[in-house]
Chain A
Amino acid sequence: MRVLIMDDSMVIRKVVESVLRVAGLGVDEVVFAANGLQGLEALERASSDGRELDLILSDVHMPVMDGLEFLLERERRGIARGVPVVMITADGTDPQVVAAMAAGAQGYISKPFTLEQIRECVASLLLVPAGTGAGR
């Protein structure tokens, strides 16, 4: 499984990667982006390389291009539309999260999160048997 992690916090990018790798979800490769624009560039690169991503985990508030703008621009450009997006937020009551869900995000996870929450959310979206290490 190939995963894009978008967050302007380097610490959170590393924490999410670490959790994904120990969650037994069969993560082969992680791609990082510090904002939505970098995320779109990563999607376009993956598409042109024929190495499509399987999952996107995105912060809501980021400089340059936030998570909602990313979703809208992804739709407008028509790239990786079928790749599920999960928003990660410190503020689960943020209206931006609701807007992101309306714009195509499949779920959200509130910080602080547990390994189990990440595992269950990702496994349910990708139909991965949690804990088996199996890919999609």
Chain B
Amino acid sequence: MIAESCAEIRWIGQIDGIVAAVFHLMLGRSCGETDETAVPGEVISAKVLFSGAVEGCCVVEFPAEAARRLTDAFLGAECAAGVAWDDAMVDDAVGELCNMIAGGWKSRLGRQDAACHLSPPTVERREGLAEASGCDGTTVRRMYGFDGSVFQVKLTVR
């Protein structure tokens, strides 16, 4: 139990750092952990599975408006003003963010654990944030905020 708690604390630090780095480097935005909760409504959820030396998954969940802002941020101000992104573009942005967070987390594992495979991100739409990741194991859930929007990241490792 103690080992599990230590692992969770370590993961939280890693995830916070990775999420902040992705937003800073790729999007030029600051992003940090928040106590805010997402408004109910449609959520775009992306999942990357870990298999091999490490089993589990990384899930990111964006309320629709937050996902639109993420897409704005990815594609830059010159494209974003007044643009209504189609669903495929928004899903793509959320999937890529999940991919980068999962890849960033894997890159911080020790050499032995890093011998795991990442699946391509799968994206789905549904109503509301989910508590469970859909994978077996210990899950860490974190809410993050950027540009007045919030989203959730879940990391599950067995």
Q: Report the minimum CB–CB distance from B80 to chain A (whole Å).
A: 11
Residues of B within 8 A of A89 (CB): 103
Q: Is A94 an interface residue (CB 8 A)?
A: yes
Q: Is B75 an interface residue (CB 8 A)?
A: yes
Q: Check if A114 sits within 8 Å of B25, measured CB to CB.
A: yes
Q: Check if B92 sits within 8 Å of A111, measured CB to CB.
A: no
CA distance A113 to B79 in the complex (A): 20
Q: Is A126 an interface residue (CB 8 A)?
A: no
B103 touches which of A9, A15, A90, A114 (Cβ 8 Å):
A90
Residues of B within 8 A of A10 (CB): 88-89, 92
Residues of A within 8 A of B96 (CB): 9, 11-12, 90, 111
Q: Report the minimum CB–CB distance from A33 to chain B (whole Å).
A: 16
Q: Interface residues, chain A, CB within 8 Å of chain B?
A: 9-12, 14-15, 18, 61, 89-94, 110-114
Residues of B within 8 A of A12 (CB): 96
Q: Check if B89 sits within 8 Å of A92, measured CB to CB.
A: no
Check A90/B118 contact, CB under 8 A, given A15-B26, A110-B107, A111-B26: yes
Residues of A within 8 A of B71 (CB): 11
- Which secondary structure characterizes the binding site on chain B? helix
CA distance A114 to B96 in the complex (A): 16
CA distance A61 to B120 in the complex (A): 8
Q: Check if A91 sits within 8 Å of B107, measured CB to CB.
A: yes
Q: Check if B25 sits within 8 Å of A93, measured CB to CB.
A: no
Q: Report the minimum CB–CB distance from B93 to chain A (whole Å).
A: 5
**Size of interface on B: residues with Cβ below 8 Å to A:** 25
- Which secondary structure characterizes the binding site on chain A? loop
Check A111/B76 contact, CB under 8 A, given A10-B89, A90-B118, A91-B118: no
Please provide the chain B residues from 61 to 103 with a CB less than 8 Å away from any CB of chain A in the complex. Answer: 71, 74-76, 79, 88-89, 92-93, 95-96, 99-100, 102-103
Residues of B within 8 A of A90 (CB): 96, 99-100, 102-104, 118
Q: Which residue of B lies closest to A111 (CB)?
A: B100
The 5 closest A-B pairs by CB, nearest first: A90-B103, A112-B25, A91-B103, A112-B26, A90-B99
CA distance A9 to B120 in the complex (A): 11
What would 16 more interface pairs be, CB under 8 Å, given A15-B75, A90-B104? A9-B95, A10-B89, A11-B74, A11-B75, A14-B74, A15-B26, A18-B75, A18-B76, A61-B120, A90-B96, A90-B99, A91-B118, A93-B106, A94-B118, A111-B103, A113-B25
